[in-house]
Amino acid sequence: MKGLAVVLLVAAVVATTWGGTNGTVEGTVKVKQTGETLPGATVAVVGTQRGATTDEEGRFIIANIRAGRYDIRVAHVGYQSRLLKNVLVNPDLRTRLAIELEQSDVMMDEITVTLEKPLIQRDVTGTTYFMSGEEAALLPIENAVDAVHLKPGVTLEGNVRGGKATEVLYLIDGLPVQDVLSGGNTATLPNSSITDVSIYTGGFEAEYGNALSGVVNIVSRTGSDEFRWFLRADKDNLFGNTQNNRTTDVEASSSGPILEGRLHYLTSFNGVFTDTRWWQDFEHFFQSPIDASLNGYAKIDYLFSPTLHIGAQVLVADRKWRDYEFDWRFNLDGLPPQRRTASRVAATMVHAPSDRFSYTASLSRYFLRSRIGDGPKENVPANDPYRYDFNLRYIIDGQRSWWSNTTQESYTAKGDASLKIGADHLLKFGGELTLYHLNSDLLRYEPRLTYFGKPLVNEPQLDFSSSYTYHPRSGAVYVQTKTDVPDQGVLLTFGLRYEFLDPTADRPRIEAIAKADTGFDFQVNGSVPASVKQQISPRLGAAFQIAERGYLFVNLGWYFQHPLFNYLFAGLDRVALAKGVSAITGNPDLDPERTKQWEVSFRYILPLDVVASTTYFKKESTNLVDTKTFIPGDSKLAGSYGFAEYVNNPYGKSEGVEIVLSRPRGAWITGELSYTFMTTEGVSGSANEGFYIAQYGLPPARHVYPLSWDQRHSVKCISSLSLPGNLTINTVLDWHSGRPYTYYPTSTGFTKINSGTFAQNNARMPAATTLDIRVQKQYRFSGAVLTFYLDCRNVTREENVLWIDSNGRIGGELNDPSGYAIGRRTNLGMQIEF
């Protein structure tokens, strides 16, 4: 409760818009016949109480409008009113309107104009993509988060511009939904409750922090004075064949008024129940479903006045599943079940005291619990190796020694403020404070393996067990400016972000004492308090109009990310240190990981509303997390195997070119065609790589090498074809050149074939191609829309390779089918809106 009180105090005193959810509509109103500015015209956002009146120069500003599409009505006595339909408001951006009213002495019908979204957004100097919830729902993807995989510079596995997958920040309504211990996204919204998805793959502004490679922000819809209901269901096993996952996907949502004009609600639910691609093995051990995911979302918004409203929301996500491993296929019940439950409650206040100043304060609590294994920890057979078959291929008896109960709780106060200065300057500033409560109880033993995957059954297992409770805290403040000189065609941005992390922990002094038998004794001699980590990251950008339809964009930024908390705290508990150092020990004095990135982009509007763009980017990363090992020999030696400690030392770099042709609007067909050439190199591919390389008795990399996600060439084609009769066909075609793997052959699984020295990622897998199609047909009735759709993945049934062992065998010694990506899957579904 003490932490909550601190957060409440910060939220109360910080004058701060809920970043990432609201935008601004601004512009001028003029007289069509003379071109003179028109003071006193009213500009109203239809369906809301938001609006403005033009000043003496005919200008108006309506700040803090929730992202989405709106109708805007402009009127003045003595002039024919105009209704602008389908005005798009993107989060964090300004929508500019140039409106002309015709003089009229008599009453005339209102002029209706349907606006299209701008072909080039000048406000954004970095690489940013916006996708509406309606556009995302038409694509053959699982959910809105998957939209990031469709963009240039993103690999098949979701690495953005050469960064690790954990370097992408995932937000819902501007607040993170991250696993701060292990990394990754932990929740998403049902598709029917999404209004906008913003994807930043380079050059994001100072408002966003704790991310090195990209930001994905999902913005939820808001209820209105019209009731809306939505129902959807689909299945992939309606055709009777075995090429399915036995998956059922259902979704429902409802929104509307509680008090008309004042209080609105939105609720949504999504459930996915599947037996996975391995159901023919799973059905011998477990009841269906093998993997069940539930996502729920609810929010209310109360409008006190046209300029002040408050909102509250609840987000829940629950998933229960079992992993599949081919060498366990005869003993699948020996793998522990897993469950992850997340919830978030948040409250916001949005206030626009004037046309030029607005702010928002928000308070949220996020809770995540992760479980591995059933029952108490004492029931897990600790350090008890399971039994292999005679050839050491399949595990035929026993239980994996892995049990975990982890909770993450975070309280966040966050806010932003926007101030329009004059006609051409925008100042945005804000801050956030997060208090964490982390509890982790882990029992984990792993068998010692050779580099080639063969178990050393007579050797003691590696002990990764750990138990800790810590209360770190982090915070940030930022300022961001934009100066727009439209007469010169120039836009300049500058941002500065200050961040800190206080681990509130001690680092043990561990001393390695050599023994005569090539082993070590490790002694803990006191502790050292971890220091508070602070950093400042500047962000600069510029946009220049260099031709009537062409723009040049330049962006330079420094980015920081706190290490995952498991890297800081694992293995530091007194019990673990008293009985001997764990295999990998955390380091609460780790510095933030750092990336410097710059990019240059040229964008030009071609005929038929086609936009061509070319972007060159370069990234250099330092302070990445790896392990420093204290190991007396390779994995075949007896005695103490030592331990590893997380440290900052690896270096990574990536650079590339993205070429894009897009047609975001137009009749019949829209879409995007992109080509990316990119190189990604470093001296470590993961935080644990150094530990395992040393365990195998192999030399660590002494020079940069291609990392495992180094996809040199990628081609992506996304198209949407609108046909008569409300029939649409949406296709996604991906082609990626092969990723690296290490060719280091063996004939026995224990010793190498004499074919040269060990070199990481010295070979390449085959290229991968995937074609996905979604076809849907709509039937419109009075007040309702009924839709049938067919969603087919990997239409051509390509056998795309996912992994190859060191002997060059796809799927390894067992011909594991997981060496290939999933084959063709077809979902048939229907939905109704009314």
Query: What is the percent of the chain where pLDDT is above 70?
Result: 92
CA distance 344 to 316: 6
Query: What is the percent of the chain where pLDDT is above 90?
Result: 54
The pLDDT value given to residue 582: 65
Residue 635 banded pLDDT, cuts 50, 70, 90? very low
Map residue 470 onto helix, strand or coil: strand
The pLDDT value given to residue 48: 79
Token code pair at residue 605: 């509007």
Q: What is the pLDDT of residues 118-132, one digit of tens each?
A: 788 888 889 999 888
Quick check: bond before 289 cis, omega within 30?
Answer: yes
Answer yes or no: are the C-beta atoms of 778 and 833 closer than 8 Å.
Answer: no
The pLDDT value given to residue 578: 53
Token code pair at residue 288: 């269906």
What's 21's DSSP letter?
Answer: T
What's 185's DSSP letter?
Answer: B
Q: What is the pLDDT of residues 725-768, one digit of tens each?
A: 999 999 999 999 999 999 999 988 888 887 678 889 999 999 99
632, pLDDT greater than 70: no
The pLDDT value given to residue 12: 36
Which range, of 183-192, 246-255, 475-484, averages the lowest pLDDT?
Answer: 183-192
Task: Return the residue matching tokens 């259902």.
Answer: 250
Q: What is the pLDDT of residues 579-618, one digit of tens each?
A: 555 678 888 999 999 999 999 999 999 999 999 999 999 9
Task: Return the residue matching tokens 């500009």.
Answer: 43
Q: Which residue has the higher pLDDT, 460 or 557?
A: 557
- In the predicted model, what is the mean pLDDT of the chain? 87
- List the chain domain ranges: 127-833
The pLDDT value given to residue 506: 79
Q: What is the pLDDT of residues 254-299, one digit of tens each?
A: 999 999 989 999 999 999 999 999 999 999 999 999 999 999 999 9
DSSP 560-615: EEPPPHHHHHTT-SHHHHHH---SEE--TTPPPEEEEEEEEEEEEEEGGGEEEEEE
Answer yes or no: are the C-beta atoms of 47 and 224 closer than 8 Å.
Answer: yes
4, pLDDT greater than 50: no
Q: Which residues contact 800 (CB under 8 A, 6 or more apart)?
A: 768, 769, 770, 794, 820, 821
638, pLDDT greater than 70: no
| Mean of pLDDT values over 507-526 | 59
Please provide the CATH number assigned to the domain covering 127-833. 2.40.170.20
Q: What is the pLDDT of residues 346-373, one digit of tens each?
A: 999 988 888 888 898 999 999 999 999 9
The pLDDT value given to residue 523: 62
Token code pair at residue 356: 């030029």
Q: Which residue has the higher pLDDT, 453 or 314?
A: 314
Map residue 89 onto helix, strand or coil: strand
pTM: 0.88
Which range, of 21-25, 300-304, 364-368, averages the lowest pLDDT?
Answer: 21-25
Residue 634 banded pLDDT, cuts 50, 70, 90? very low
CA distance 776 to 782: 20
One-letter identity of residue 251:
E
644, pLDDT greater than 80: no
